[in-house]
Structure 1
Amino acid sequence: MAEIVLEQDNPGLKSLCDEFRANNKIPPEKFELYQVKRGLRNPDGTGVMAGLTTICNVHGYLIADGERIPDEGKLTYRGIDLRDIVEGCIAEKRFGFEEVAWLLLFGELPSTEQLQTFCKTLNSYRELPEYFAEDMIIKAPSKNIMNKLARSVLALYSYDENPDDTSLQNNMRQAIQLIARMPTIMTYAYQVKRRHFDKQSMYFHPIDPSHSTAQAILNAIRPDRVFTDEEAKLLDLCLILHAEHGGGNNSTFAARVLSSTGTDIYSSMAAAIGSLKGPKHGGANHRVMMMMNEIMENVHNWEDETELENYLEKIVRGEACDHSGLIYGMGHAVYTLSDPRAVILRTKAHKMAEERNMLKKFELFERVEKLAPNAFAHVKGEMKVISANVDFYSGLVYEMLGIPSDLFTPLFAVSRIAGWCAHRIEEMETCGRIMRPAYRSLSKSKPYISLDQRNAK
């Protein structure tokens, strides 16, 4: 047999894949036979109970007589309704992400003095370690910012004098540093990506120690460093909405699984970032905008609901967009009637669309949200209760803020690391047992055959 060249379209590699497929088949009916809960989901779609948490609660339905009853979505951080947090920050005309990070980490809202001290601490750690940017980001550019975030977080291990100490004190120190440094890593990686792959100018603005996280991000990605208070507050709102979503979402669960082994915080956070990168998880907001752009190109009359619904049905049948059969941004594992984060973002997006002469585009989003359930019902033959999730409107809001699509999912990670760190610490301090679910083996016993006998076959 000739040497196999491992290139994607090489016939030799194709033969290896054929070999794999021939020897690795699991009939779908076996999952039902052995009552395997694929995706760690119960038959009714609810998640398998895998742990306990005091950090967050995600409410999307009621259970009555063993059946799921759709209900309005509600999200609480440490028992406090997310809407109350948002409305409180808006009423007091201040930034809220830092307060939310404190709440998630420590369990109670901070006092004025605690919040001021926490913000100063975060700002003191915004700068990356000496030579880190040159060695880890500039010298090794990546087309995908999420990839660079994961690699850079792993690399921070080498710059930590005490990386493997998993005590509460050290975990807290590392968590706060990571929350502070993630925006800087993201914006540096974006600039390097622009220069190396997009052949555009690269610029690194000085960090302003008085800036909130949202202000620091806009300061770093805008060439002229100019942004309005309204824009910064809207980005801050997005960070608040994305900061946490319970222990069962894929990336947070990944962080908890790794943390249960006792590994270092950098390994567990890199795993969470890798999870969030997936298009079925955090990468969905980028896919929403790609899908909507294709809809805008192929639907001639955006106001014609019949034409629009016909195209949505093509998407569900896998005949349009990325052929996945998914209408990105629609539906959620927990929420049924509404996703409270999407409800908040829809209101903000509407206001900004009016101000920026983008109302026609916003109304198209609303129309897709309205017609998507019918499209699914016509194609699948069953009517499910689905609503827009946070990803459906977040990309549109980012676009209105002039944020490039390369940063849609990384911004999610910059925000969610506050929740990840809170869950890591909770896992290590309250659980104390490595996660180890079971997999049933379907392999049958067979004898070992010597190499010369295999060659004779």
Structure 2
Amino acid sequence: MNNQQMMELTTVEKSAFEELVKQCTRSGSIDPSLYVDYDVKRGLRDSNGNGVLTGLTEISDVVGTRSDNGRKVPVDGELYFQGFNVAEIIAGFGDRKYGFEETTYLLLFGKLPTEEQRKNFIHILTDLEELSGAFLRDVIMKATSTNLMNSLMKSILSLYSYDENPDDVCVPNVLRQSLQLIAKMPLISVYAYQAYRHYKLDGTLMIKNPRKDYSIAENILYMLRDDGQFTELEAKVLDICLVLHAEHGGGNNSTFTTHVVTSSGTDTYSAIAASIASLKGPKHGGANLKVQRMFADIMEHCSDWENKDEICEYLLKILDKQAFDHAGLIYGMGHAVYTLSDPRAVILKKFAKSLSEEKGMQKEFALYELVEREAGNLIMQKRQMFKPVCANVDFYSGFVYSMLGIPEELFTPIFAISRVSGWCSHRLEELVNAGKIIRPAYKYVGHHRPYYDINNRDCEQK
């Protein structure tokens, strides 16, 4: 219920609604000690914060520790796609501009493409990336949302109506649908932003068809910018961002959602829309926005960005809930798996440095480096932690997007443009292995009660 609807309620209705809120809160409250008594793995994690094993995958591996005589020892993080180290994959691109497309091929088909296979695959994607004028008019341009992730979900679900065979979950059909989604997601995202800019911000409506000779990263910049111009480094950095966000194991929230929903036998559009809904959550896909806003706050309140003592003093205020959003968190620091380093952050940092030099933003980059260098130790000391705290990929990704001139409204949709390759790979893996419907258990801790006639409920249930 929004504020306008609340204002329109009578005094009696407001009182009744407030009572419903109280009842809802009381009814949903569970004694926290019961989670310990029943050894509930809250968040599907054990008491040490490790994820509970719920499935198997060959698509990617996330490494943050090694085993030494039964002990987990922190190591520099590594990320593998289909068994290949992501750092080596990116280094192998050289001057090729289709890194994300090549990575998508690897995730879907389990092997690195030959030159001929790569060209054929890119040709298929470029053929599938177009959207009809009717879809643009009837879906994207109508009922625009202030949050583009909702626009994405609406558009993905609407594609169901444009599919002649939407419910068939055989592998050939789902692969066809997957390739179409991977190709169309960039257009849907950018067009949704253009509609939002026009209808919500009173800006010029600008819709460009993608160019067949451009990579996905190049087309995002081309369709987004009024003049359609970009540098080679800008396109390269965005392409690397797409590669790094394409996949990150089966246990992250949105990918696990893909497995859960797919296991029910539902259609591809519903499964991917559910994954987008998960990614929209600020605890998952919106973290880089928090990092950006935190740094804006640091820049505003610290006069000398090169003064380590001044920066550390303000970071301690953030940890003490005395500054920024008073949550006590230094955003972009820490990861559930990585300990000494997040390989995605390590790679992205190098490209962020190059881009900051092209954009004349070396001073801002130096501030990011300073915070990264000091924040981990401050967090460990303040929280009395023994596990190392490293910067994660969100620490630099928002900064990179800002340097690229990408509006904040598109930060999380770009994550979705990338991660849909991983989601579709996991959906196909779930279907190929024909697993059971995923159904974890919940322990009932309420009380069985006798039924009360409606005339006796006030006194009997107090």
Settle same-fold status: TM greater than 0.5.
yes
Within 5 Å, which residues of 2 pair with 1:76-87? 76-87=80-91
Q: Do structure 1's residue 193 and structure 2's residue 201 form an aligned pair? A: no
How much has 1:241 moved relative to structure 2? 0.7
Q: Do structure 1's residue 120 and structure 2's residue 123 form an aligned pair? A: yes
How much has 1:456 moved relative to structure 2? 4.8
2:203 is aligned with what amino acid?
Answer: Q
Q: Do structure 1's residue 40 and structure 2's residue 38 form an aligned pair? A: no
CA–CA distance in structure 1, aligned partners of residues 169 and 317 of structure 2: 51
CA–CA distance in structure 1, aligned partners of residues 137 and 28 of structure 2: 44
The answer for the alignment partner of 2:74 in structure 1 is: 70
CA–CA distance in structure 2, aligned partners of residues 212 and 8 of structure 1: 51
What is the percent sequence identity of the aligned residues? 48
The answer for the alignment partner of 1:53 in structure 2 is: 57
Within 5 Å, which residues of 2 pair with 1:209-248? 209-248=212-251
2:24 is aligned with what amino acid?
Answer: F
Equivalent of 2:362 in 355, 359, 362: 359
CA–CA distance in structure 2, aligned partners of residues 30 and 8 of structure 1: 41
Instruction: Give the unaligned 5+ runs of structure 1.
Output: none
Equivalent of 1:20 in 24, 29, 45: 24
How much has 1:7 moved relative to structure 2? 6.9
The answer for the alignment partner of 2:303 in structure 1 is: 300
1:46 is aligned with what amino acid?
Answer: N
The answer for the alignment partner of 1:436 in structure 2 is: 439
With normalisation by structure 1, the TM-score equals 0.95
Secondary structure (helix, strand or coil) at the match of 1:438 reads coil
- Cα pair distance change 1:291/1:7, threshold 3 Å: farther
* Contact 1:6 1:13 (8 Å CA) reproduced: no
- Cα pair distance change 1:369/1:11, threshold 3 Å: farther
Equivalent of 1:165 in 160, 163, 168: 168
Equivalent of 2:411 in 408, 413, 416: 408
* Contact 2:247 2:419 (8 Å CA) reproduced: yes
* Contact 2:380 2:388 (8 Å CA) reproduced: no
The answer for the alignment partner of 1:129 in structure 2 is: 132
* Contact 2:247 2:422 (8 Å CA) reproduced: yes
Secondary structure (helix, strand or coil) at the match of 1:131 reads helix
CA–CA distance in structure 2, aligned partners of residues 87 and 6 of structure 1: 56
Within 5 Å, which residues of 2 pair with 1:102-117? 102-117=105-120
2:109 is aligned with what amino acid?
Answer: F
1:291 is aligned with what amino acid?
Answer: M
Q: Give the CA RMSD over aligned residues.
A: 1.7
- Cα pair distance change 1:119/1:54, threshold 3 Å: same
Within 5 Å, which residues of 2 pair with 1:279-290? 279-290=282-293
The answer for the alignment partner of 1:422 in structure 2 is: 425
2:91 is aligned with what amino acid?
Answer: E
The answer for the alignment partner of 2:347 in structure 1 is: 344
How much has 1:18 moved relative to structure 2? 1.4
Q: Do structure 1's residue 371 and structure 2's residue 405 form an aligned pair? A: no
* Contact 2:234 2:355 (8 Å CA) reproduced: no
Report which stretch shifted further, 433-442 or 21-30: 21-30
CA–CA distance in structure 1, aligned partners of residues 290 and 15 of structure 2: 31
How much has 1:383 moved relative to structure 2? 4.3
The answer for the alignment partner of 1:31 in structure 2 is: 35
- Cα pair distance change 1:8/1:51, threshold 3 Å: farther
Report which stretch shifted further, 370-379 or 352-361: 370-379
Report which stretch shifted further, 162-171 or 346-355: 346-355
* Contact 1:187 1:221 (8 Å CA) reproduced: yes
CA–CA distance in structure 1, aligned partners of residues 316 and 431 of structure 2: 46
Could you list the per-position Cα deviations for residues 2-37 of structure 1 after superposition, in whole angstroms to 9, with x for gaps in the alignment?
xxx657995543332211222322122211111111
* Contact 1:310 1:375 (8 Å CA) reproduced: no
CA–CA distance in structure 1, aligned partners of residues 317 and 387 of structure 2: 18
Report which stretch shifted further, 16-25 or 433-442: 16-25
Instruction: Give the unaligned 5+ runs of structure 2.
Output: none
The answer for the alignment partner of 1:153 in structure 2 is: 156
1:336 is aligned with what amino acid?
Answer: T
How much has 1:62 moved relative to structure 2? 2.0
Secondary structure (helix, strand or coil) at the match of 1:58 reads strand
The answer for the alignment partner of 1:258 in structure 2 is: 261
Q: Which runs of 4+ in 1 moved over 6 A?
A: none
Report which stretch shifted further, 80-89 or 347-356: 347-356
CA–CA distance in structure 1, aligned partners of residues 306 and 147 of structure 2: 35
* Contact 2:319 2:329 (8 Å CA) reproduced: yes
Secondary structure (helix, strand or coil) at the match of 1:35 reads coil
- Cα pair distance change 1:428/1:339, threshold 3 Å: same
